[in-house]
Structure 1
């Protein structure tokens, strides 16, 4: 693949993953069948893209409507939605477990009620020829990262800690969201990025890649459905309906990936055309992260993982004091199929 094509794909996917300020987007619904439904706003984060395919599938197939929900999607920054959900301006958002820990540490009464991404989606990746396959191999290496914030920083610190390394044992370079290009052009030895971004881009360009995944060393509950204590206490029926609809949407997507991708392209037409191959690769890579682990109850998370997350975030200084792990999540709305 030509360098210009590689950079075009990398830029497109990076924009998809990097996030943006909130934008307005048409409500996806059938206006002739809205009578009797309750309008629910969901803070989705980022911008419309194929990584939200299960949501689009649930709307297209009527899973939310069958629960009496008229779902409105809003796109923006995860930390902004965490505050909105915390003060009950929004009842639901898609957010990661580490953000829930941060929110609770700041006094926000947010709680995680459904796991969607069953693996933490951020990895450290490198060209295979560099033979960086374990955390210990990172010692003395130059690692590109967008900055000391967010999921990328959490994954970096967790992976380094697995080899008893600190930031002083590596060379960190702030590269913004140019991870694929930086690794491809050998400006860094490795980079921190979403597994469905940089590694996918390089493989599309025919470059063999190694990845170091945080989940192999520390399990942090990743993206899922987050609500607040008031909604759980006063509207448990609504939480149950949202959880049930989203569970059905994810399951249908996993069982019917071609149809799900086609539905996503209706919502995100710019992901088609010359961008379709790259976005299909992103979608296919995402399927792995939506798939429950062997023996895992779909949608559920474990107290031990939440406790380990709290202890880790306190160790690396992201929170000052321990947070009660049991206050962070509940599996009470999970329905086993």
Structure 2
């Protein structure tokens, strides 16, 4: 089985896999707030999504194509941008909703760019320490004296590396850290330029498929984090909770549909939104089944309360970690950032 991997969203610029260009997608790459009425009297709203159109966003696409948004009274338009820009656009009211990674939302909030997380879609992050067998790394303690790459020293993955080292009694001085761009970091691992990388755990599948003796240690074991989540402005949550709730409910149905029939959801997403993935449906479906369905979209919290429900304790740990590692000046209460879907009425 061969994985032709590009870029996948999640954890902002760091958690990257399979980034197909959306030039052929029917969705616009621009971003502006929609106003007015759509077909059948539905309300026009826009969601700005992190990166570009990829089949891993199948639940959102299913919510539209299966008519869940329409039944909820919404006519939804998808646009795409980078995570930090999405948070700014949502906070300013330029778009109704955003779908950035949760780590960038925390960072922005800590710096005064306020949004509210209204649906914790990804219950955890997808960062991981990836290494090859020749590096002989079975735990973070084995990183001592090794060369580790991250994409940016301001990235969540860099913070995850520090958390791994700290819990193993090590510090940054015990390793050699390199910064390597998104497009080259995986090749650097394959070619032996570095011993390990902290990147997306989804890349594990591509490396394994390519015959690489790859190992992974999930970052979430050492530092709670979040992939893509739905955000809205505080003003929208306060003044239009009905629309926010309607969006959440339709997305829940899209998640349910994709979870029950991932192959059909992936086929739809590729045909209508991400045609550059044509021919890779089987591989993408495997990743969705093994990673997204089992651990990203579902957790003990969602099994008790439903899709998108936040675990405030995990959010608080993620916030406190960013403050502890000086990514933000000071921490804040998770309850100020995160909204429980059932609190929307």
Moved more, 239-248 or 101-110: 101-110
Report the TM-score when normalising by structure 1: 0.87
Residues 88-125 of structure 1: per-residue CA shift (max 9 Å, x gap): 11121112332222222222221111111122111111
CA drift at 1:22? 9.7
Whether contact under 8 Å (2:151, 2:180) holds in the other structure is: yes
Match of 2:324 among 311, 315, 334: 315
Partner of 1:26: 26
Inter-CA distance 18–163: structure 2 relative to 1 (3 Å threshold): farther
Aligned equivalents of 2:299, 2:85: Cα separation in 1: 30
CA drift at 1:25? 5.1
Partner of 2:110: 105
CA drift at 1:278? 4.9
1:214 aligns with 2:223: no
Inter-CA distance 193–277: structure 2 relative to 1 (3 Å threshold): farther
Whether contact under 8 Å (1:122, 1:214) holds in the other structure is: yes
1:290 aligns with 2:299: no
**1:27-106 to 2 correspondences below 5 Å:** 27=27, 34-106=39-111
Partner of 2:199: 193
Q: Secondary structure at the match of 1:333?
A: helix
CA drift at 1:167? 2.1
CA drift at 1:185? 1.4
**1:318-337 to 2 correspondences below 5 Å:** 318-333=327-342
Whether contact under 8 Å (1:104, 1:110) holds in the other structure is: yes
**1:114-263 to 2 correspondences below 5 Å:** 114-177=119-182, 178-196=184-202, 198-263=203-268
Q: Secondary structure at the match of 1:200?
A: helix
Inter-CA distance 100–108: structure 2 relative to 1 (3 Å threshold): same
Question: RMSD value over aligned CA atoms?
Answer: 2.7
CA drift at 1:295? 5.1
Aligned equivalents of 1:295, 1:85: Cα separation in 2: 26
Aligned equivalents of 1:282, 1:85: Cα separation in 2: 30
Residues 19-50 of structure 1: per-residue CA shift (max 9 Å, x gap): 6999795349xxxx813011111010101111
Aligned equivalents of 2:136, 2:186: Cα separation in 1: 17
Aligned equivalents of 1:312, 1:321: Cα separation in 2: 10
Unaligned runs of 5+ in 2: 10-15, 29-37
Whether contact under 8 Å (1:42, 1:72) holds in the other structure is: yes
Aligned equivalents of 2:103, 2:239: Cα separation in 1: 26
Whether contact under 8 Å (2:160, 2:223) holds in the other structure is: no
Partner of 2:33: none
Report the TM-score when normalising by structure 2: 0.85
CA drift at 1:261? 1.1
Partner of 2:314: 305
Aligned equivalents of 1:14, 1:140: Cα separation in 2: 30
Aligned equivalents of 2:323, 2:181: Cα separation in 1: 26
Aligned equivalents of 1:23, 1:314: Cα separation in 2: 38
Aligned equivalents of 1:80, 1:190: Cα separation in 2: 30
Q: What is the number of equivalent residue pairs in this alignment?
A: 323
Unaligned runs of 5+ in 1: none
Residues 113-151 of structure 1: per-residue CA shift (max 9 Å, x gap): 111112211111112343312221222211122121333
Whether contact under 8 Å (1:180, 1:201) holds in the other structure is: no
Moved more, 41-50 or 210-219: 210-219
Aligned equivalents of 1:109, 1:36: Cα separation in 2: 31
1:271 aligns with 2:277: yes
Residues 270-329 of structure 1: per-residue CA shift (max 9 Å, x gap): 1013x4555445444433343412354331122222222222111111011222322010
